Amino acid sequence: MMKMNTGAWIGIIGGTIGFLAAIAAVIVTTGSEGIYITMGMLALFGGMGYLFYKLFFGPMINANRLQKTGLPGTAKILEVRDTGVTINNNPQVKLTVEIKNNLGQRYTATIKTLVSRINPFAYQPGMEVPVKIDPKNDQNVVLDFSQNSSASPNRISPQQDMDALKSELEQMQKENETILLSGRPARAIIKKYTWLGVNVNGNNPFVELEIEVLPEASASFSSKVKGVIAELSVEKFQPGKEIYVKYDLYDNSKVAIDHS
């Protein structure tokens, strides 16, 4: 999330003072004709300033305010669209989300946010993300970037003990290797994709998938599986996509993604 730091405010104030000084100089040097030039300059730069505020500074100030004063909630992403706006080579996207506020009420809203150009699939339909909600306007919603957000119990804070995370990944890998060696193969349909808040070995997300396993010779069953997905393969693991898994014939809760 971009923030309005001291340098940015100094730049804005300095630019405003310089602009006013330029207008005063025009009036002094050109006499009565300077009034018309000044009106034209005000109209031109005023319009540009308003547009820049609406697209850049306004949303930034609003997001910073809601990080401190907004009510916590959880949002499920329903749709992701490119807005056509790019800031520092990072595209801005518009998220249509279903909000669950702290009273348990559900409704839809939209959120605009930047995504890293090296991780364009950071937000995908089916993901759950923590949000902050304006207590005076429940349609004014921003993503919650606070380090200690409790809005999403599945989200792992970047400040969490990395040794514990490493241990979890190693244990998961051992269990998955056992399942992949002796488990039964099956197709599965992804019902829900949840990013767990961390990337592994670069920009490869650690995720939890809720799936419907479809064995050939027995009834289908629901399960959950965790795994690290290659950054370039994230799109293939979205809700509705078909993947291949292996499962323990005697314990259907033990399922592993078959990447082979």
Query: What CATH number has the domain bearing residue 121?
Result: 2.40.50
Count of structural domains, the chain: 3
> 138-149 as b/e, with b when 16 or more CB fall inside 10 Å?
eebbbbbeeeeb
Asked whether residue 168 falls in the same domain as residue 240, the answer is yes
- Which of 159, 155, 150, 180 lies closest to 244 in space, CA to CA? 180
Asked whether residue 100 falls in the same domain as residue 48, the answer is no
- Please indicate, yes or no, if residue 179 is contained in any of the structural domains: yes
Asked whether residue 181 falls in the same domain as residue 209, the answer is yes
pLDDT at 14 over 60: no
- Please indicate, yes or no, if residue 138 is contained in any of the structural domains: yes
Asked whether residue 41 falls in the same domain as residue 102, the answer is no
- Please indicate, yes or no, if residue 154 is contained in any of the structural domains: no
Alpha helices in 31-82 (DSSP H): 33-52, 58-69
Residue 253 has what pLDDT? Answer: 87
Residue 247 has what pLDDT? Answer: 94
Is the distance from CB of 198 to CB of 187 less than 8 angstroms?
no
* Cβ-Cβ contacts under 8 Å for 179 (sequence gap 6 or more): 246, 247, 248, 254, 255, 256
- Which of 116, 118, 120, 226 lies closest to 165 in space, CA to CA? 226
Q: What is the distance between the alpha carbons of residues 254 and 244, in angstroms, rounded to a whole number? A: 14
What 8-state DSSP symbol labels residue 237?
A: G
Mean pLDDT of the chain: 77
Residue 69 has what pLDDT? Answer: 84
- Please indicate, yes or no, if residue 130 is contained in any of the structural domains: yes
Residue 160 has what pLDDT? Answer: 41
- Please indicate, yes or no, if residue 185 is contained in any of the structural domains: yes
Asked whether residue 83 falls in the same domain as residue 130, the answer is yes
- Which of 25, 118, 113 lies closest to 77 in space, CA to CA? 113
pTM for the model: 0.44
Residue 17 has what pLDDT? Answer: 67
pLDDT digits (tens, 9 = 90+) for 62-88: 888 888 888 888 888 999 888 887 777
pLDDT at 210 over 90: yes
Asked whether residue 63 falls in the same domain as residue 105, the answer is no
pLDDT digits (tens, 9 = 90+) for 212-239: 999 998 899 999 998 888 888 888 999 9
Which of the residue ranges 40-49, 89-98, 102-111, 206-215 would you say has the lowest mean pLDDT? 40-49
Structure tokens belonging to residue 120 = 């364009």
- Please indicate, yes or no, if residue 38 is contained in any of the structural domains: yes
Asked whether residue 249 falls in the same domain as residue 200, the answer is yes
pLDDT digits (tens, 9 = 90+) for 175-207: 989 999 999 999 999 999 888 767 788 788 888
pLDDT digits (tens, 9 = 90+) for 104-117: 678 899 998 888 76
Of 110 and 166, the one with more pLDDT: 110
Sign of CA dihedral 171, 127, 112, 89: positive
Domain containing residue 98: 70-143
Residue 39 has what pLDDT? Answer: 65
Asked whether residue 12 falls in the same domain as residue 25, the answer is yes
Asked whether residue 173 falls in the same domain as residue 249, the answer is yes
Q: Is 32 left (phi over 0), alpha (psi -120 to 50) or beta?
A: alpha
Asked whether residue 45 falls in the same domain as residue 64, the answer is yes
Domain boundary (86, 114, 143) is at: 143
Structure tokens belonging to residue 158 = 């970047």
- Please indicate, yes or no, if residue 106 is contained in any of the structural domains: yes
Mean pLDDT computed over 119-134: 82
pLDDT band at 61 (very low <50, low <70, confident <90, very high): confident
Asked whether residue 56 falls in the same domain as residue 128, the answer is no
- Please indicate, yes or no, if residue 156 is contained in any of the structural domains: no
Mean pLDDT computed over 33-59: 60
Which of the residue ranges 4-8, 38-42, 64-68, 239-243 would you say has the lowest mean pLDDT? 4-8
Asked whether residue 61 falls in the same domain as residue 77, the answer is no
